[in-house]
Amino acid sequence: MKSIFFRVLAYTATVTSFVALYSCDKNGSDDPEVPEVEAPSYLAASVPKSELEAVALVNGAYSPLQRLSSSYTFLVESATETTISFEETDDSKDGPQVSIFETVPGNWYPIKIFGYLYVSIGAANLAIESIPFSNLSEDSQDLYIARARFIRGYDYFQLVQLFGEAPLILSADPASATTVRSSIDNVYKQIIEDLTEASEKLPAYDTQKSNPTQLAAKTILAKAYLTWGQKPLSQAEVEAIKTSRADPAKPAVNSEYLQKALAFADEVINSGNYRLLDNFNNIWGVSNENNAEVIFSIRHEGDGIDAQGNHQTHCGFTFPKNARRDPHLSYADKYYETALPDNDKRKAYSYVTSVSYADGTKDTLTWPVSIVRPGKWIHRSTNGLQALDAQPNSIDHIDFRLAEVYLIKAEAAFLLGNTSVALQAINQIRARADVNALTALTQEDLYREWENEFAQEQKHWLNLVRWRTLISTVTTKVPQFEYYKPAYGDLNLFKALPGADESRFAFYQRVHKHLRAKAANINGHFYRFPIPQNLQRLDSGITPQNPGY
Judged by DSSP in three states, 468 sits in: coil
Of residues 409, 395, 305, the one with CA closest to residue 349: 395
The domain in which residue 173 lies consists of 1-293+398-549
Instruction: Report the distance separating Cα 480 and Cα 483, nearest Å.
Output: 9
Closest CA to 60 of 18, 26, 1: 18
Q: Is there a cis peptide before residue 544, judged by omega within 30 degrees of 0?
A: yes
Domain-embedded: residue 141: yes
Instruction: Please name the helix (run of DSSP H) or strand (run of DSSP E) that holds residue 23, with its range, or none.
Output: none
Q: Please state the domain count of the chain.
A: 1
Per-residue pLDDT of the chain (549 residues; tens, 9 = 90+): 323 322 333 333 333 322 222 223 334 444 444 346 789 999 999 999 999 999 999 999 999 999 999 999 999 999 999 999 988 888 999 999 999 999 999 999 999 999 999 999 999 999 999 999 999 999 999 999 999 999 999 999 999 999 999 999 999 999 999 999 999 999 999 999 999 999 999 999 999 999 999 999 999 999 999 999 999 999 999 999 999 999 999 999 999 999 999 999 999 999 999 999 999 999 998 989 999 999 999 999 998 888 889 988 888 877 778 877 888 888 999 999 999 999 999 999 999 998 888 888 888 889 999 999 998 988 887 777 788 888 889 999 999 999 999 999 999 999 999 999 999 999 999 999 999 999 999 999 999 999 999 999 999 999 999 999 999 999 999 999 999 999 999 999 999 999 999 999 999 999 999 999 999 999 999 999 999 999 999 999 999 999 999
The per-residue pLDDT for 323 is 77
Q: Comparing C-alpha atoms, which of 223, 230, 156, 222 is closest to residue 194?
A: 156
Measured between alpha carbons, how far is 89 from 107 in angstroms, rounded to an integer? 16
Position 389 scores a pLDDT of 82
- Rounded to whole angstroms, how far apart are CA atoms 371 and 507? 10
Read off the CATH number of the domain in which 127 is found: 1.25.40.390
Cα separation, 58 vs 144, whole angstroms: 7
313 inside domain = no
* CA distance linking residue 164 with residue 141, whole number of Å: 32
Query: What is the sign, positive or negative, of the torsion defined by CA atoms of 406, 407, 409, 414?
Result: positive
Q: Say what the pLDDT of residue 36 is.
A: 63
In a domain, 6, yes or no: yes
- Antiparallel, parallel or unpaired: β 397-401 and 294-298: antiparallel
Return the exposure string of 184-196: e unless at least 16 CB atoms fall within 10 Å of the residue's CB, then b.
beebbebbbebbe
For residue 52, being part of any structural domain is answered with yes
Contact indicator for 120, 65 with CB cutoff of 8 Å: yes
Cα–Cα dist 370/382, whole Å: 26
Asked, for residue 406, whether it belongs to a domain, the answer is yes
Q: To 10 degrees, the CA torsion angle through 36, 37, 43, 44? A: 20
Q: Give the chain's length.
A: 549
Indicate whether 414 belongs to any domain.
yes
**Do the beta carbons of residue 365 and residue 356 sit within 8 Å?**
no
Classify residue 328: in a domain, yes or no: no
pTM score, whole prediction: 0.93
Name the helix (H) or strand (E) containing 356. strand 354-356
Phi and psi based region of residue 202 (left: phi greater than 0; alpha: psi -120 to 50; beta: remaining):
beta
Q: At what angle do helices 460-467 and 443-453 cross, to 10 degrees?
A: 160
In a domain, 251, yes or no: yes
